[in-house]
A and B are shown apart, each in its own frame.
Chain A
Amino acid sequence: MRLLTHNMLSSNIKGVANGFPLLIEVEKVIEKQVDFNPDFLKNIFPKIEWQALVQASRSMGYSELPEESPESSMLDSDDFLMKFHHVLLELHLEEGALVCPETGRKFPVNKGIPNMLLHEDEV
């Protein structure tokens, strides 16, 4: 699972009011190169919750994203775009867990696939 998807995923347990962002417990992170596409990055940028992305990237061992939500003028900077690209699309949580910020319930991630299936009493 990449951080693009992490940024779109919330805890889906019944009764949880604020299930976003899910905390990340890392066992294994892998990197896979993806073609750099500035248009995609500019399109998706306004939809990204910046703090969640920064927090997630730090859990994954990457600390070069600016803490503060960047001005949209930053999208003209190739240096910034490359970092944003790397964090969003090239870092994969291969093994680990996603943790509901409200209940602490862990959703396991195996072979890069988060298991968001709920138990009967959580639906």
Chain B
Amino acid sequence: MSLRTAQIRLVSSHPEVYEPCDDSFALVDALLADRINLVEHHPVLCMEVGCGSGYVITSLALMLGQEVPGVQYIATDINPYAVEVTRKTLEAHNVHADLINTDIASGLEKRLAGLVDVMVVNPPYVPTPEDEVGREGIASAWAGGENGRAVIDKILPSADKLLSKRGWLYLVTLTANDPSQICLQMMEKGYAARIVVQRSTEEENLHIIKFWRDFDIQMDAKDIVPNKAAPVGVMDTLLSQVHRLSFRRSASSNNN
């Protein structure tokens, strides 16, 4: 059987680079769960923002592999050690992505706009004091500022610019990031959303959310958001899911 994900023993490491962890595995599981759709989607350009160890972009390249020939991959990270580790991880699996040491997609937003068919992001989502955001080294892999949203809120507009008309975004979020608010914000930009994987660990409750452009959603959003009325359709289902999960989590933590 051909390998569908990166192998941990072949993932390179460095003290200043975030190692594959529950959130990375959850994101790769989400991509695997959606793999048939990804193959049928036939992306031309795929991109990862914040590639860290390279586990996710390598896995994506392996799972699309020969079935979708000619896909090209680009990955960025603000941490110079991370892009170097990603390079080694890709090489160990005999796949290629062009790597750029940059902040989110700085330098790419003009010319790469509207070209990315699949974007994967495991952002620094941990709530921290604001002054921890943007520090060098491994802190850049998790420090997310207030509600863990400081970097996510910079990535979303960038993703909106880069994604093609048929572009998909897979984003890791934590309950503390207020995923339902993220979904509403994306809905205003014309994206529908669905939770592909939900996973609770001892420490965190993760949602891997997939976003795609949906023109009906944008029309709805224009009607809904200014009036603060309840969302309808796809978003309704999604948001109720998120609310329920958030509720369950806060309920259980109250009990503890």
Contact = CB atoms under 8 A, between A and B. Distances in A.
A113 B101 CA distance: 7
Interface stretch (A23-31, A36-44, A59-67, A73-81): A36-44
A113 B72 contact: no
B99 interface: yes
Contacts of A114: 100-102
A113 B111 contact: no
Given A5-B74, A20-B110, A89-B72, A12 B102 contact: yes
Contacts of B112: 8
Contact of B100 (A1, A35, A39, A44): A1
A9 B102 CA distance: 11
B138 interface: no
B100 A5 contact: yes
Q: Which of B98, B99, B102 has the most CB of A within 10 A?
A: B98
Contact of B44 (A7, A8, A19, A40): A40
B232 interface: no
Contacts of A113: 83-84, 87, 99-101
A118 interface: yes
A111 B111 contact: no
Contacts of B78: 117
A117 B71 CA distance: 27
B70 A117 contact: no
B156 interface: no
B10 interface: no
A44 B87 contact: no
B106 interface: yes
Given A115-B80, A116-B106, A117-B78, A20 B111 contact: yes
B4 interface: no
Given A37-B69, A111-B87, A8 B115 contact: yes
A23 B112 CA distance: 18
B225 interface: no
Contact of B106 (A12, A35, A39, A89): A12
A115 B110 CA distance: 17
A86 interface: no
A40 B110 contact: no
Contacts of A4: 72, 98
A58 B102 CA distance: 26
A12 to B, nearest CB: 4
B108 interface: yes
Contacts of B103: 117-118
